[in-house]
Structure 1
Amino acid sequence: MTRIDRARCRLKAHPLALDAALAAGVLGCMVAGSFVDPHGEHGVTWGVRTPDPLSIVLMALGAAALVFRRRAPLTVLALTGAVSLIECVTGDPRAPVAMSAVIALYTVASTTDRPTTWRAGLLTMTVLTGAAMLAGPLPWYAQENLAIFAWTGIGATAGDAVRSRRAVVQAIRERAERAERTREEEARRRVAEERLRIARDLHDVVAHHIALVNVQAGVAAHVMDKRPDQAKEALAHVREASRSALNELRATVGLLRQSGDPEAPTEPAPGLDRLDELAGTFRSAGLPVEVARADQGTTLPAAVGLAAYRVIQEALTNVRKHAGPEAKAEVSVVRVGPNIEITVLDDGAGPDDRPPGDEGGGHGLLGMRERVSALGGFLTTGPRFGGGFRVHAILPVKARTAAPGEPGGPGRPGGPGEPGETV
């Protein structure tokens, strides 16, 4: 920080002292100007005339009022205008008492609004100039009378310009601060969204494959002694499921470890074109799955296809985990107008007659709901009449982001965060 900056900071910290110094300087200028005759024989001459006592008193009163110009600008303008008016009418009109009124008018213009500046400026200019022209001892066209009009106008204009510049600088500063806050909030929002996306993907991958590994490992342990061939087949499924889980985890961790922009994936994101393969993995784990499709070969955007795939994957995983060993699942994919509807049904009651996903503390249904809501669709889940569970998702064929208050958005049925529907 330079000396000028330090001095400016000290002056801003003590405004009353600054105004007192300004008042002393204005008083000195007024007193010095009262000794000057601008119309002397040799031009401007010094010491030819002396101010009368009344002029000195009026100059002192006007300067003293300027000490409080920041605290009460309009009051100070009224006081300095009054002493200037008295000087114009009764004293020597060539004594520069009006200088204090000019400074006060500048303060009003720089600290108030423009309408106030116009009213105060016109009133001060009219009263002082009119009094000097009509009631003063000099002719109305005298240079001193016109100088009052000019200097009051300059004071009001300069103060308004300073106020406008301060407003512009303040607006620029506020805009910069708002932009900085917006950037920080946007960065935090993107980080939170990315964390949710990664957590959701990891949950989908791990929950699906680990559920299959758990089921097949249980089968292998059950038939190891009596049917070793079936146990080997179950262990082969365990190996395949664990290899798939490791590959997907390795790909996800690889993306997280990249310092720059992620490279394009070497394998397309899963979609409904891999629905039969997904159903086959569950059939090999002992869950009968029937698939019915009536989507007329609809080509879905990658985001919609991935969301549909993950919804079906999570729903079938929940059936495998919670619906019991005798449960069966049905998957239907139907094109209805501009939407694609996904329905997963099962007929199992689950342990202790609880519907799948009613344990609480998990994130499966919440993750499904977030995926669907992010695309502008909505998801409904709940137990079926007579037993079983139902997952129904409606996704727009053309992906879009759901706004707050829209179906599937926050605050509407099917939006994220409804209680009692997490796995």
Structure 2
Amino acid sequence: MVVVDLERYAERNPWLTDAVIVTALAGGAVLGLTLVGPGESRPDNVWDAALLTGLACLTILRGRGHARTAVVVTTLCAVVTGSLGYLLTPLLLAPVMVALYWLAATTTPRTSWTFGGIATAAVVATAVGLDNFDEMVALRALGPALWLLLPLALGSSSRLRRAYVDAVHARAEYAERTREEEARLRVSEERLRIARDLHDIMAHHMAVAHAHAGTAAHLLDTNPQLTKAMLADLQATTTKAMLDLRDTVGVLRTGGVDDESLEPTPGLAKLPDLLTSCRSAGLEVACEVEGEPQELPSGIDLSAYRIIQEALTNATKHSSTGGAQLNLYYGNGALTITIGNSRSPSAPPRSKTVGFGLTGMQERAQAVGGHLTVNDVNPGTFEVVTTLPLQTHAAPLRLPTIPTSS
């Protein structure tokens, strides 16, 4: 059995619906003109009354879009019909009731109840009469008043229900739009994170590999044994780069990682390996730790490691003396990391356009509530200073021994 949604059908076919309503109202009006009160006879001017009720019914055809005009016209027709002596039953008041319903459903409460009150008062006054105040006056007034107030209440209820449904749809659309925007934001953040990781990993390994290859080429004729050692280091560096690249790209392909196949997330605990890698590429790093080392949250620990890695990678490529200074200071609720290296006085100044490496370091620092500055005012030095927050109650941590340069 197919259940037809009459309300939705009426909204899709308003003219057909209005034609059916007008036909029903006209049939009811013809019947209403034949009804008379007890002991009364039907008035003679039936054609005038029929013309008035027909006009009221035809007004309903335009009443959906002109509710105020429809209420005024149908009320005047009902008042004149009642003045001709006809009994104002619900059959004759039906056009007024339909017009009042549309008025309440499509306008503000103030407008609908103002027009409705005036129309009800006019109809009740006509039904009661000016010289017919007897014991039945209350009954004659109560009937038309109730019949006209009913569509006002129903129309207001329909308007409120429609407003509620519209509000629900609007909230649902907003929630859907918000979810889509949040999903796009998360995708963008993930792409940025992966781009930073790829840049940090590949830039470091390629800088070290470049240094190995250059040194091996320089020592090829004079020191074959050292050249062989440098080429072995180059092979290890490129192998590590490929493994790191595979693990990072594997996240994109599978949507996850195999915990057994990956190393722990790098942090300051791996700082000795990083310094060893830099020294094998020819960069002597002097490391100094001040204050009491503390255990860092994983996100801050990773950011600290990546910032040091990127800064030392830049030092490997641009240091004029083949050396760099790394200082870790724990104090005042923060970890301050300072990485500096010398520059050749003849080297061109740093471009005002920040590169991807410096941008990535700044983003990593800001992501965990820290900040990063680059100092290169002195033509002979280049220094990166990063301040990262510490946990308020962090447990002391014994850092592994950092190998010193020979």
Determine if the TM-score, normalized by the shorter chain, exceeds 0.5: yes
What is the one-letter code of the residue matched to 2:27? Answer: G
Contact 1:328 1:348 in 2 (8 A): no
User: After superposition, where does 1:79-158 map in structure 2 within 5 Å?
Assistant: 79-94=73-88, 96-135=91-130, 141=137, 143-158=139-154
1:264-298 per-residue CA deviation (whole Å, 9 max, x = no partner) reads: 46532111222232122112211121112224121
Percent of paired sites with the same residue: 34
Please name the residue that 2:24 is paired with: 25
Q: How many Å separate the matches in 1 of 2:127 and 2:366?
A: 78
The more displaced of 146-155 and 298-307 is 146-155
| Matches for 1:193-342 after TM superposition, within 5 Å | 193-258=189-254, 261-264=256-259, 266-324=262-320, 326-342=321-337
TM-superposed deviation, 1:72: 1.8
Question: 2:69 maps to which residue?
Answer: 75
The answer to whether the aligner puts 1:366 opposite 2:366 as a matched pair is no
Match of 1:391 in 2: 384
Which structure has more relative contact order (CA 8 Å, sep 6+)? It is 2
Give the distance between the partners of 2:7 and 2:138, measured in 1 at CA. Answer: 43
Displacement, 1:91? 3.4
Number of matched residues? 388
SS in 2 for 1:187: helix
Query: What TM-score, normalized by structure 1, do the two folds share?
Result: 0.82
CA distance in 1, matches of 2:252, 2:282: 35
CA contact (8 A) 2:293 2:330 kept: no
Match for 1:54 among 41, 44, 48? Answer: 48
CA spacing shift, 1:214–1:351, aligned 2, 3 Å: farther
Q: Does the Cα contact within 8 Å between 2:36 and 2:87 map onto a contact in 1?
A: no
Partner of 1:419: none
What SS class does the counterpart of residue 333 from structure 1 fall into? Answer: strand
Deviation track 1:168-209 (CA, whole Å, cap 9, x = no partner) reads 211121222222212222221111111111111111111100
Q: Specify whether residues 126 and 6 from structure 1 end up closer, same or farther in structure 2 by C-alpha distance, changes over 3 A only.
A: closer
| Structural RMSD (CA) | 3.0
Deviations 1:312-353 (A, max 9, x none): 1111111212334x2431112222323222221111148742
Give the partner amino acid of 1:335.
Answer: Y
CA distance in 1, matches of 2:387, 2:131: 89
**8 Å contact from structure 1 (residues 93, 137) kept in 2:** no
| Contact 2:43-2:86 at 8 Å conserved across structures | no
Change (3 A) 1:136 1:168: farther
Does the CA-based 8 Å contact 1:88-1:136 persist in structure 2? no
One-letter code of the match for 2:23? Answer: A
Which one-letter code corresponds to 1:215 in the other structure?
A
Output the amino acid matched with 1:167: A
